[in-house]
Amino acid sequence: MFSTKMTVFLVLLLQSCIVLASDPDPLHDYCIPIPEFSSIFPSCKNSSLVTVEDFVYSGIKNPGDFKNTGFASIPVNSAVFPGLHTLGMSFVRADFEAGGINVPHYHPRATETAFVLEGRVYSGFVDSSNRVFARVLEKGEVMVFPRGLVHFQMNVGDSPASILGSFNSQNPGSVKIPNVMFGSSIKEEVLMKAFGLNDKEVHKLRKRFVPQ
């Protein structure tokens, strides 16, 4: 009996990703997904198995790996830190070498408040009428990036800079503009018409962003 339908079923399940939930009011004090199977069924651990470690995250004490843009980030959402599940929050640590840049990007599902832990960071966002709000932030200053709006950050000091960003979604998502445009397989013709570029120019841009 289990050999046919059930097998297919389990195979399908093991290929499936985390079940959606939503960011509104939680229905329980908390819900720690069962670690190994959280990707299959959205069950909460029996509360007797929950420990304080489920609610503490220790992975952002140090910077992440720097990319060639002089930027390193460690996004911490509910997939990485299960204690956030159903609680409507997540965060990110971002580090910048001198001159390092966090390229223009936006979070489709959250507002961000960014606190400067260290350094001087030129920081800004663009509203939907294409107006830019930007300035240099000093250590201890906080900037808010409204949900879904494009924003960017650049270390304009001489020493490393560091930022803690917080989000009001357990999974805010992140869309990097250069990558979504030139690092995806959007038809060349669309890009040429959209940016007014010829095919050579588009090729050149794509080379940089498409994983080779």
Binding to its own copies, residues 6-25 (CB under 8 A) = 6-10, 12-13, 15-25
CB atoms within 10 A of CB 135: 10
- Which pair of structure tokens corresponds to residue 146? 């409204």
Which residue do the tokens 């329980």 mark?
Answer: 28
Vertex 35: Cα angle to 77 and 2 (nearest 5): 130
Binding track over 169-198 against its own copies, x by CB under 8 A: xxx-xxx-xxxxxxxxxxx-xx--xxxxx-
Interaction of residue 160 with its own copies, rule CB under 8 A:
no
Nearest approach, Cβ of 204 to its own copies (angstroms)? 9
Residue 6 CB, shortest distance to its own copies, in Å, is 7
Binds its own copies (CB under 8 A): choice among 65, 121, 150, 202? 150
* Rounded Cα–Cα distance for residues 168 and 88 (Å): 6
Residue with Cβ nearer its own copies (138 or 159): 138
Closest distance of CB 193 from its own copies, Å: 5
Instruction: CB nearer to its own copies: give 125 or 161.
Output: 125
Which H, E and C letters describe 64-124, residue by residue? CCCCCCCEEEEEECCCCCHHHCCCCCEEEEEEECCCCEEEEEECCCCCEEEEEEECCEEEE
Q: Closest separation between CB of residue 11 and its own copies, Å? A: 10
Sheet of 101-106: strands edge to edge? 132-137, 121-126, 150-155, 101-106, 175-176
Kindly write out the interface string for residues 72-101 of this chain, putting x where it contacts its own copies by CB under 8 A and - elsewhere: ----x----x-xxxxxxxxx-------x-x
- Distance of closest approach, residue 73 Cβ to its own copies, in angstroms: 14
Residue 206 DSSP class: H
Closer of 66 and 87 to its own copies (Cβ): 87
Residues 129-148 that bind its own copies (CB under 8 A): 129-135, 137-148
Query: How far is Cα 138 from Cα 184, in angstroms, rounded to an integer?
Result: 35
* Binding-site member from 97, 109, 157, 160 for its own copies (CB under 8 A): 109
Which residues, 31 to 50, sit near its own copies by CB under 8 A? Answer: 31, 34, 36-37, 40-47, 49-50
- Rounded distance between C-alpha atoms, residue 204 and residue 192, angstroms: 12
How far, in Å, CA of 73 to CA of 64, rounded? 6
